[in-house]
Amino acid sequence: MTVAMTNQVIHCFVKTVDNSRHLFLSIVYAKNYYIHRRALWNDLCMHRGFVGNHPWVMMGDFNVSLELDDSTIGGSQVTIAMREFHECVEYLCMSDINHSGLHFTWNQRLNALDGMLKKIDRIMANDHFLNDFINSYAIFQPYTISDHCPAILKIPLNNSSVNRPKSFKFSNFIVYREGFEDVVVKGWRRVLVGHRMFQVVKKLRWLKSPLRKIMWHHGSVHKRVMKLKSDLEEA
C-alpha cells in the first residue's frame, strides 16, 4: 500500500499474506544534482517520525556514493553530496543489509572497458527491520541492458537460512596447497562473453567450488586450531 509519494521516493506499507508481519518500504530514485537531493533527504528524515519503531527499508538509486571506496575514480576527500547523504543515513539510523554480488552498482560506460564504476544503489534498513527479519539479505546482480545492476531484497519470512546463499570464506593457507595455482589459472582462462565486471563475477563464482574442495581436503580448520591449542596447553 502506498503511503506517500514525491518525485524522488515512494513510501509503502507492506504486509505479509497472513497479516502476521509488516514493514515500511521506501523506494528511491534520487535526482542527479546534489542540491535537488536535499528535498529527498528532508523527506526521508520526516518519514522517520511516521515510521517510528517499526521495521523500515529504503532501497533504490540514491545517485551519490556514501564512502570514498564506493568509486573506482575519485578524490580522497568527502564531497558535500556525500556528507549530506551520510548525515541523512546517520539520522535515520540506517545501515546496509547483508549483501552479495557486485559492489559497484553503476557503470558510466556499460559497453566500454574504461568506464567509471560507482556504488550509488543501496538497500538499507533500520535496526527494527534487522532484528525482526534476521535472515534478510540483498543481491546485486550483474549488469544487463541497464547501466545500473539489478538490486534484489530477499526476506525469508520463516527466518530460515536454508535458501540463503552460503558465504564463501577464503582461508589464506590454501594458496600454499597443491593445485591452488592450477585451479585459479584454469578459472581465469575461461572464455566468457559480456561486460568485464560480469566476467570477473562469473569467474570468481566458478572458483568457489574447486577452492572449497581444496579446503575440504585440508580438513576442518576449526578442529585443527582447537587440536593445536590443546597440544600447546598440554606442552
pLDDT digits (tens, 9 = 90+) for 11-68: 999 998 888 889 999 999 999 999 999 999 999 999 999 999 999 999 999 999 988 8
How far is the C-alpha of 176 from the C-alpha of 17, rounded, in Å? 51
**What beta strand segments (E) does the chain contain?**
2-5, 9-15, 22-29, 56-61, 95-96, 99-101, 106-107, 117-118, 121-125, 137-140, 151-154
Between residues 25 and 145, the one the model is more confident about: 25
Residue 107 is assigned to a structural domain of this protein:
yes
How far is the C-alpha of 173 from the C-alpha of 232, rounded, in Å? 20
68 and 133 belong to one structural domain: yes
98 and 212 belong to one structural domain: no
pLDDT digits (tens, 9 = 90+) for 90-115: 999 898 998 888 888 988 765 555 56
Residue 224 is assigned to a structural domain of this protein:
yes
How large is the average pLDDT for residues 151-165?
68
Residue 10 is assigned to a structural domain of this protein:
yes
22 and 79 belong to one structural domain: yes
Q: Which H or E run includes 184?
A: helix 180-188
pLDDT value at 199 more than 90: no
Give the confidence band of 162 by pLDDT, cuts at 50, 70, 90: very low
149 and 178 belong to one structural domain: no
How far is the C-alpha of 172 from the C-alpha of 90, rounded, in Å? 35
| Number of domains making up the chain | 2
How large is the average pLDDT for residues 129-143?
88
How large is the average pLDDT for residues 221-227?
71
State the helix-helix crossing angle for 196-218 and 180-188, rounded to 10 degrees: 160
